[in-house]
Structure 1
Amino acid sequence: MDILKHNSMAWDNEVKLGNKWTIPVTKAQIQDAKKGKYELLLTPTKPVPKEWIGDIKGKNVLCLASGGGQQGPIVSALGANVTVFDNSKEQLKKDEMVSERDNLSIKLEQGDMRDLSRFEDESFDFIFHPVSNCFISNIELVWKECYRILKKGGVLISGFVNPISFIFDLYEWEKNNKLIVSNSIPYSDIDDLPKEQLEERIKNNDTLDFGHSLQSQIGAQIDAGFLIGGFYEDSSGHGDLLDEYIDTFIATKALKL
């Protein structure tokens, strides 16, 4: 099946369901951002440290797989030249709505985060990449493309899921509130879910997910040429079974020297 197309439609559906990552920022938040008061999220709850962002006024910023009318508009209000790139047309419509409402200048691009060939080498100063690469395979391609399109001295900040979240039986987790180890990493809904559970997720238009190793998440950034210059962890923020025991989200700041 075409996983890219499926997840595009699944995120269009998440917009209808009101997923937290699809709720655009308010006009008041944009006004605050123009005054330098803002919060940006790579992971569910912890704001990105302000020193990770720095002064981005006048810089070219790519918000990668970052539709939903959240990060892009805030970054634009901070004075950056913003491009929002996402696989979901409904998510991009959220950015378009905020842009028109608050008179912001934001370029919108729909596509696969693994293929940034429409962008020239060294065309961005900063890439903002919140939790999203769990919806694709081959994330090494993402890191290589990010390195290519960043200028020297550029920054990539990313959020992703700790692979420990994917070792448990999804059905027992979601349906019976139990943690039963059943999967290895790397993980794929397509390859590792029982047929009937996979068919149910497809029928319900749920996203199809991938659990990537830390080697792929962090090591492959280094392999692509980046220097990791920042790191923090975060919880789900909504009482997941693992929240009591371990933070299940990770954020990194990577530098192209």
Structure 2
Amino acid sequence: MQDKGVDPAAHNRAAWDKYVQEGIEWSRPVSAEEVERARGGDWSIVLIGHEPVDRSWLPADLTGKDVLCLASGGGQQGPILAAAGARVTVFDNSPGQLGQDQMVAARDGLELRTVLGDMRDLGAFGDASFDVVFHPVSNLFVPEPAPVWRECFRVLRPGGTLLAGFINPDAYLFDHEALDERGELIVVHKLPYSDVTQYTAEERAAKFGADAALEYSHTLTDQIGGQLAAGFVLTGFAEAPHQSNASAAYMSNYFATRAVKPG
């Protein structure tokens, strides 16, 4: 059950604005050289881990396609897709993350729109507004993914595609300190896991820092079944290890799906 004393959207907005200031990996904008190559058709973007997404998952020609980069700020995927010819909207909960996209767009002369908001509420957009929704690993920052899938389905046009990345819920079984500090896989958490139900505010501050983003694991029923319940047809699946986690030797930490809105 969600801690009623915590507003995850507000807390995680502040957390991600701080991460931008710290220059973490997912807040570092692409270079002008990468944008220029994308204009010439040489590009790749990441959906899970460090592996480029399979280009066959996206339209062969992005020119004029309306693409929503959902919870995907940071100046990475959005600018590349815009340089490849798409009409891109980047939607994110963090003004700092959106600022990275705005910076790249201004620097490189890209047409790109940014919208601030919670991924669970896409009321800023009308029905059937997009051809593609690109949603990299991010729904771990909301307590429930079902509203995200429903909104993705609503804003996609018939025949539109949802590309989504998410965390393998089993990754949350393990003791964080033992894993990060000693590389030991010690099962301590019951699933589904939540920072706000597993620990008190004081314990969270001691373990992760008071400003750390709140995370929530989600079952595969919620992730994959949730997409199906929203009306999607699953057409692709991939997995990848965590790039630096000790569990990578034993399991995939990331899953990705390609799903289509029938029509």
Pair in the same fold by TM > 0.5: yes
Match of 2:8 among 3, 7, 13: 3
Match of 1:229 among 227, 235, 242: 235
Aligned to 1:142: 148
Deviation at 1:195, TM superposition (A): 5.2
SS of match in other structure, 1:243: helix
Deviation at 1:139, TM superposition (A): 0.4
RMSD (CA atoms) = 1.3
Taking structure 1 as the reference length, what is the TM-score of the superposition?
0.96
Q: Is 2:127 aligned against 1:124?
A: no
SS of match in other structure, 2:109: coil
Which whole-Å deviations, capped at 9, do the CAs of 1:225-250 have from their partners, x for residues lacking one? 00110111111112x11011111101
Aligned to 1:100: 106
Q: Where in structure 2 are the equivalents of 1:171-210 lying within 5 Å?
A: 171-193=177-199, 196-200=202-206, 203-210=209-216
Count of residues in Structure 1 that have an aligned counterpart in Structure 2 = 256
Taking structure 2 as the reference length, what is the TM-score of the superposition?
0.94
Structure 2 unaligned spans of 5+: 1-5
SS of match in other structure, 2:134: strand
Aligned to 2:19: 14
Write the letter of the residue equivalent to 1:247.
S
Write the letter of the residue equivalent to 1:138.
E
State the distance in 1 between where 2:66 and 2:114 align.
14
State the distance in 2 between where 1:173 and 1:194 align.
21
8 Å CA contact 1:201–1:208 kept in 2: the answer is no
Give the % identical residues: 43
Deviation at 1:58, TM superposition (A): 0.2
8 Å CA contact 1:65–1:132 kept in 2: the answer is yes
State the distance in 1 between where 2:14 and 2:48 align.
22
Could you list the structure 1 runs, at least 4 aligned residues long, displaced by more than 4 angstroms after superposition: none
8 Å CA contact 1:8–1:87 kept in 2: the answer is yes
Deviation at 1:170, TM superposition (A): 2.4
Write the letter of the residue equivalent to 1:102.
D
Which whole-Å deviations, capped at 9, do the CAs of 1:212-234 have from their partners, x for residues lacking one? 01111111101110011011111
Aligned to 2:171: 165
Query: Cα distance 1:124–1:221, how it changes in 2: closer, same or farther (>3 A)?
Result: same
Which whole-Å deviations, capped at 9, do the CAs of 1:107-132 have from their partners, x for residues lacking one? 11111000001110111110000000
State the distance in 2 between where 1:174 and 1:197 align.
17
Query: Cα distance 1:202–1:244, how it changes in 2: closer, same or farther (>3 A)?
Result: closer
SS of match in other structure, 1:242: helix
Match of 1:250 among 240, 243, 255: 255
8 Å CA contact 1:15–1:22 kept in 2: the answer is yes
Q: Where in structure 2 are the equivalents of 1:19-30 lying within 5 Å?
A: 19-30=24-35
8 Å CA contact 2:180–2:246 kept in 1: the answer is no
Aligned to 1:114: 120
